[in-house]
Amino acid sequence: MAIFADKKTRVLIQGITGRDGSFHARQMLEYGTQIVAGVTPGKGGQRFDDSVPVFDTVDEAVQAEGATASVIYVPAAFASSAICEAADSGISLIVAITEGVPVLDMLRTVRYVSDRGARLIGPNCPGLISPGQTKLGIIPGQIAAPGPVGVVSRSGTLTYEVVSALTRAGYGQSTCVGIGGDPIIGTNFIDCLDAFEVDPQTEAIVLIGEIGGSDEQEAARHIKEDLSKPVVGFVAGRTAPPGRRMGHAGAIISGSQGTAAEKIATFRENGVEVAERPLEVPDFIASALGG
């Protein structure tokens, strides 16, 4: 099985005719993702790569093709409106790849999506992949393989590195989710941990955090109190200087709050093994799975 998306998920791409949208739509199609429609206002009636119908609105695409998930590749200025349009049209899973979305826009948008019963992943995220079934976003399909390890991460690049290391070591994945590193996101660590906990395919979980905020600390306490499956952690940014943003908008240390050392200590206090380097994660997973 998988969490959030599988081979039955019917996907539409908002911004399918743009540079990024078209490139990644082809990658997803090649992987086997069931892309049933694209949306670009003003280009309705066209076909993408002679196979995927393009519509002017998400509602038209949902009505005509039965899409249940949307992947968003539209400019930051329009991303919030695109997310809300998808939620209004009955889409249950929205994956926003777009980066640079204003925080104030996301404060309103996250509540709007939640009120309509949809799940938002992102923005500023690499999306998700359920290996051998589907991928929604930009995670390279060739680095992943089906298996028992769930992966959730704030960092796109570290997601790729850890997933690749797991695959090389023979530990495939159930689903890999990049939740995004912005201050306001739709799906957090705890949401993914809970989904992995009830997924019968997932036997162990990798959580990849980074400096900034307190999401990792909250996740650590949740793991101790509510999860039965083993979790392995990794936290990026051990040498980051206080007050300087490192990559993501949410990755900034304020005083002693949000440091890698603080997060690692909290994980260990709550029984979560923490790898020192990404390439050590497979060894910890081997131990967790009794390998």
Task: Say if CB 129 and CB 176 are below 8 A apart.
Answer: yes
Identify the bridge partners of residue 153 per DSSP, sorted by sequence position.
178, 208
Percent of the chain with pLDDT over 70: 92
The residue annotated as part of the active site, out of 217, 248, 253, 260, is 248
> Does 24 participate in catalysis according to the annotation?
no
Low-confidence stretches of the chain (pLDDT < 50) are 249-251, 253-255
CA gap 285, 291 in Å, rounded: 8
The pLDDT score that the predictor gives to residue 213 is: 83
Alpha helices, H only, the chain? 19-31, 58-65, 76-88, 103-115, 156-168, 189-198, 215-226, 260-269, 281-288
Cα(153)–Cα(8) distance, rounded to whole angstroms? 24
- Res 44: pLDDT: 97
Give the pTM. 0.93
**Whole-number pLDDT of residue 89:** 98
> What are the respective helix, strand and coil percentages of the chain, to the nearest 5?
35, 20, 40
Task: Output the pLDDT for position 156.
Answer: 84
What residues does 48 pair with on adjacent strands?
Answer: 52
Q: Could you please report the per-residue DSSP string of 17-41? A: TSHHHHHHHHHHHHHT--EEEEE-T
Token pair listed for 192: 């993914």
**236 DSSP β-pair partners:** 210
pLDDT of residue 253: 47
- pLDDT for residue 211: 83
Torsion sign over Cα 77, 81, 87, 89: negative
DSSP 3-state assignment of 286?
helix
**Domains detected in the chain:** 11-121 (3.40.50.720), 139-288 (3.40.50.261)
